[in-house]
Amino acid sequence: MLEKINQSAAFISEKISSLPDVGIILGTGLGGLAKEIEVEISLPYNTIPNFPVSTVEGHHGRLIYGKLGGKKVLAMQGRFHYYEGYTMEQVTFPVRVMKKLGIKALFVSNASGGVNPDFEIGDVMIITDHMNLMPNPLLGKNYNELGPRFPDMSEAYDKRMISMAEEIARMNNIKIQKGVYTGVTGPTLETPSEYKYFRIIGSDTVGMSTVPEVIIARHSGIPCFAISIITDLGVPGKIVEVSHEEIAPNDFDNERTYF
């Protein structure tokens, strides 16, 4: 794996003007952020050595390098999911490459199903913690060059960045929620009993991504910040049959199932 990481990072570093400050994984609700980036180069995944290629319909499948808010950013427009048949090593490989390229922080977004009865469709939730119900991406051989065998996860999501986001939201009168995200394999949406179970064990929302990438980032010592867009509700009395179109509004890039 180390050789593959080095190959991919070397290829990307030859294409960009300087090393990035921040890594971004553009999930549902933040796909439009790519339009705000002063793009210097866009690399299709299939041109990058060792990168997987997304099989999910609607994914752009490219790595964008440019400037956003005065910072050099490397943004994934399209992510990889365990339910697509990838190994966890493949799902999280881009985070390893971004670490090799020198990112100092990782920002992640997703869409998810809210199980907190106080949530409404369209809410933005800052993730304060997670529960992992997927295979752990660190199973197997540990490479000490990448991180410790038993990484600490007591602060999976950076408290300083969360505080900054809360202050920015307050100053701009932006409504936000905070809560715990539970990661599951998918690709089925949840049954009412599963929604109930997730709430009982302490979940505020549930989805099919983010957790593996954050685990790998923390294993690598990268601070993380993540948000969820609530696109459907798993709350008794509010659970309805949902389709792609219903949970993929026009201002979102993809539906919750895929993120």
β-bridge mates for residue 157, sequence order: none
Total number of domains constituting the chain: 1
Burial of 155 (0-12, 13-18, 19+ CB in 10 A): middle
CATH no. for residue 20? 3.40.50.1580
Rounded CA-CA distance 184/132 in Å is 7
- Which pLDDT does position 251 carry in this prediction? 40
CB 22 within 8 A of CB 107: yes
Reading the chain (259 residues) residue by residue, the pLDDT tens digits are 999 999 999 999 999 999 999 999 987 556 677 788 999 999 999 999 999 876 655 456 899 999 999 999 999 988 899 999 999 999 999 999 999 999 999 999 999 999 999 999 999 999 999 999 999 999 999 999 999 999 999 999 999 999 999 999 999 999 999 999 999 999 998 999 999 999 999 999 999 999 999 999 999 999 999 999 999 998 887 777 765 555 554 443 344 433 4
Rounded CA-CA distance 29/10 in Å is 31
| pTM score | 0.91
- Which pLDDT does position 45 carry in this prediction? 94
Q: Helix (H, G, I), strand (E, B), or coil: what is residue 173?
A: coil
Q: Are β-strands 124-132 and 224-233 bridged in parallel, bridged antiparallel, or unpaired?
A: antiparallel
- Which pLDDT does position 237 carry in this prediction? 79
CB 203 within 8 A of CB 131: yes
Domain enclosing residue 237, as ranges: 2-258
Q: Write out the two tokens for 238.
A: 């509010």
Which is it for the CA torsion 192, 193, 194, 197, positive or negative?
positive
Which is it for the CA torsion 87, 90, 93, 94, positive or negative?
negative
- Which pLDDT does position 249 carry in this prediction? 46
State the helix-helix crossing angle for 2-15 and 88-100, rounded to 10 degrees.
Answer: 50
Q: What is the DSSP letter of 51?
A: -
